[in-house]
Amino acid sequence: MKIYKLTQIAKEIDIEYSGEDIDIYGLHTLKSATPNHISFFNDKRYIDELSDTKAVAVLIEERYINLLPKTTIPLITDEPYLKLALISKLFAYKITTKGSHPDMGEGCDIDKRVRFGKNIKLGSGVIVMAGVYIGDEVEIGSNTIIYPNVTIYHHSKIGDNCILHAGSVIGSDGYGFAHTKDGEHIKIYQNGNVIIEDSVEIGANTTIDRAVFGSTYIRRGAKIDNLVQIGHNCDIGENTLLAGQAGIAGSTSLGRNVVMGGQSGTVGHIKIGDFTTIAGKSGVTKSLKGNRTYAGFPAIEHKLWLKLQAKISSLIKKDK
């Protein structure tokens, strides 16, 4: 674990700070930060979380500092998101090509053409086929099958009885950049991980991005088709079904038993309720209530969408 002094971080990102020199263990959201984390505020949707944050310091514009708890240090900047990106690099995991033999349970079947990083744990009866790469600190549960050419990035956790089909990528960086005033794109290093619970199946060439901080979750029993994209910090609920070419933007939460048809997609930072069905090619632009079926772009309730299509069809016929 990397630990930096707060004064050191402030100097690195060119922010004035001369107070107590506190150990900082990393970055986190306002809601999840501990007294050893720095957080940030750049989106008014999260303004209610400022007063309750436990972060030791927050990157924030001066006009909002009165909303912080007295125990939280304001790191004043007019570019909090950009400063977040600069700090994220300090805490990025150091990638190396060195590896070691994994700690394996009984009855594992590992092809000789598999590459391992360091400190990997495999449960009993794990099958890993040719061309697979498994990164540092990965944990894989018992009776999981990993097909050829799967890539599992560092610190990912995969449960029991999972199936990962060929070419899938678990734990790649999410799509996150802060933008300078001159239009340059600065990488936000993705320092979280991916957690896949038990009895999950991941289709061929599907990608699941690691979290910026915290975890991207694929909950127990979810079944994900080929060519699906799941963004960073998503939470995919138990027994959810995602059909081919579905796309879930970052920080979206799906409840349990959600069904998303082929080529459907969502914007980020929304919630979709339990037992929701989203028809193929639909585009979800806001949070949706559960136990309903939606269709279209922007996605609306399916019955309303059918009426809308009938109305449009009748208008076209009248014009002929």
Q: Which of 37, 232, 269, 302 is catalytic?
A: 232
Write the burial class of residue 311 (CB in 10 Å: 0-12 exposed, 13-18 middle, 19+ buried): exposed
The secondary structure of residue 84, as a DSSP letter, is: H
The three-state secondary structure class of 69 is coil
* Amino acid sitting at position 158: I
Is 305:288 a contact under the CB 8 Å cutoff? no
Q: Indicate the domain borders of the chain.
A: 4-90, 103-303
For residue 46, the Cα-to-chain-centroid distance in whole angstroms is 18
CA dihedral 66, 71, 76, 79 (to 10 degrees): -90
CATH tag for 4-90 (out of 3.20.20.220, 3.40.50.300, 3.40.1390.10, 3.40.50.410): 3.40.1390.10
- Separation between Cα atoms, residue 144 and residue 141, nearest integer Å: 6
CB 201 within 8 A of CB 163: yes
pTM of the model as a whole = 0.94
Helices (H) and strands (E) in the chain, counts: 3, 37
pLDDT in tens, 274-291: 999 999 999 999 999 999
In the DSSP assignment, the letter for residue 255 is: -
Q: Is 232 designated active site?
A: yes
pLDDT of 320: 63
Virtual torsion, Cα 55, 61, 66, 68, nearest 10 deg = -10
Q: For 91-104, how does the pLDDT look when each residue is reduced to its tens digit (9 = 90+)? A: 999 999 999 999 99
Please give the radius of gyration of the chain, using alpha carbons only, rounded to the nearest integer: 22
The CATH number of the structural domain formed by 103-303 is 2.160.10.10
Q: What is the pLDDT of residue 19?
A: 87
Q: What is the pLDDT of residue 319?
A: 67
Mean pLDDT of 95-124: 97
Q: What is the pLDDT of residue 260?
A: 98
For 155-183, how does the pLDDT look when each residue is reduced to its tens digit (9 = 90+)?
Answer: 999 999 999 999 999 999 999 999 999 99
